[in-house]
Amino acid sequence: MKVLKHPATQIAIGAILGVIFGLIVGDWASNLKFVGDIFIRLIQMSIVPLVMASVIVATGSMTGSGMGKLAGRTFAWILGFSAVAAIVGWVLSVWFQPGRGMVYQGDPVEVETVEPTPWQDTLLNFVTTNIFDAMSTATMIPIIVFSLIFGLALNRYIASSGNDLVLRGLEQLQQVVLLMIRLVMYIAPIGVFCILANLAGDVGFAVVTTALAYLATTLVGVVIIFILMVIVVAVRTGLSPAKLPAKLLEQTMVAITTTSSAVTFPTVLKNTVEKVGVSQRVANFTLSIGLTMGSCGAVLNYMIVVMFLAQAGGVDLTVGQIVLGMGLTILLNMGTITVPGGFPVVAMFLAGTLNLPVEAVGLLIAVDWFTGVLRTFLNVNGDTFVAMLVAKSEGELDRDVYNGQKSVTAEEVDSETLQAQYAKADSAD
């Protein structure tokens, strides 16, 4: 059957069989742990070159087009909603404690007790004296700082010389590393089977209840943020929120069945213009930006992942680490730190940067299809809400179209020109 060939289906089957096997054989399943560890390491080894290439390419290829009030308002709303999503993710994780069920019977995670680091030293450590040393230890913050500066310098060099050979080389490197990750994901069902067999054998049925707690926390967060967005839109635009469900139904159904913002984009653009009343100019710009940077669902999910891994490993995060985690999830969303390659890469990146245990990442990968549905739902509809808010400020929100008293026709989407945005959007779903 075609559905059995889908990677998400294969991973789900591997996860279910792994949990069942682990519950049956108990402690013996620990013999499979090394296979899961190999799978995790195969992903981890790609993170440093992928992050470096992605950040340099993102900053090196920036242009000054699209600036002005329209861009400012778009980014302001995207950043604002992203910050709210990060805070909601943290609050819910503290409240529901989704990772607390993962109490390992094996060796506990050793957390070294040290005096709080002065903030001056913390900032100082953001800059490395030896980038190769930072790369060898996967110390991500100095790597990101170096890549941002290198990308900005490369941008200036290309602007002055017209020579983009280095940029094109790094783009090709990025694609090769992404291909590596795709090849690794072919063995994901086996890796997830072994990881969850070991977890189930170690913690028992708690592996199931913990996964459900993680999904429930994400679902509650999505509902809260969606309601907050509807309230903000209703207050700012003065339009009736009761009419929104019917206007968002079509794009919502496409989003949750495909779990792809890219596939949903043409429907979102059409509905935002024809059903909501946003002008074509605002819709084209705002929705295109939102496609790659307006992923509030991803911000929410990534923040819950940070807290989940900390709770599962018994790590008490400091205030500084929590703030850093929020900042990273927002930067991932905004595209400054572009980490294509899907959820496993992002989860490993966050765990490595914040020194969190990765033992439970396999469980999160196993249920990622479900969180992908929730992320995409919020990403897609959040983009429409941002477009409405920007259009209201620009005076380009047609109330007659929204109220069904006037009809307009949206322009056709040129998919070929949006391939890069499509790829980045799917990495956040």
Q: How far is Cα of residue 125 from the mean position of the Cα atoms in its chain?
A: 26
The verdict on residue 71 lying in a domain is yes
At position 280, the amino acid (one-letter code) is: Q
Q: What angle do CA 226, 256, 174 make, to 5 degrees?
A: 95
Q: What are phi and psi of 309, to 5 degrees?
A: -65, -40
For the chain, the domain total comes to: 1
In a domain, 359, yes or no: yes
CATH number at residue 181: 1.10.3860
Please report whether residue 352 resides in a domain.
Answer: yes
The single-letter DSSP state of residue 64 is S
Quick one: how far is CA 117 from the chain centroid?
29
Residue 1 lies in a domain: no
Which residue, 349, 250, 370, 247, is CA-closest to 302? 349
Domain of 254, in residue numbers: 26-102+117-428
Residues 223 and 226: their CA atoms lie apart, in Å, by: 5
DSSP string, 131-166: HHHHHHTT-HHHHHHHHHHHHHHHHHHHHHH---HH
Q: What is the pLDDT of residue 107?
A: 43
List CB contacts of 383: < 8 A, sequence separation 6 or more: 261, 268, 286, 287, 290, 291, 294
Q: Is residue 174 part of a domain?
A: yes
AA identity, residue 135: M
43-70 residues labelled b (16+ CB within 10 A) or e (exposed): bbebbbbbbbbbbbbbbbbeeeeeeeeb
Mean pLDDT, the chain cut into blocks of 10 residues (429 residues total) = 71 88 89 88 83 80 62 89 96 93 49 49 80 84 86 90 92 85 86 86 80 94 96 95 90 82 84 91 85 84 94 88 90 60 78 83 83 90 94 92 84 60 56
**pLDDT for position 261:** 80
Within 13 A of 202's CA, how many CA atoms are on the CB side?
22
Question: What global pTM score does this model have?
Answer: 0.76
pLDDT given for residue 111 in this prediction: 38
C-alpha 209/C-alpha 230 separation (Å) is 31
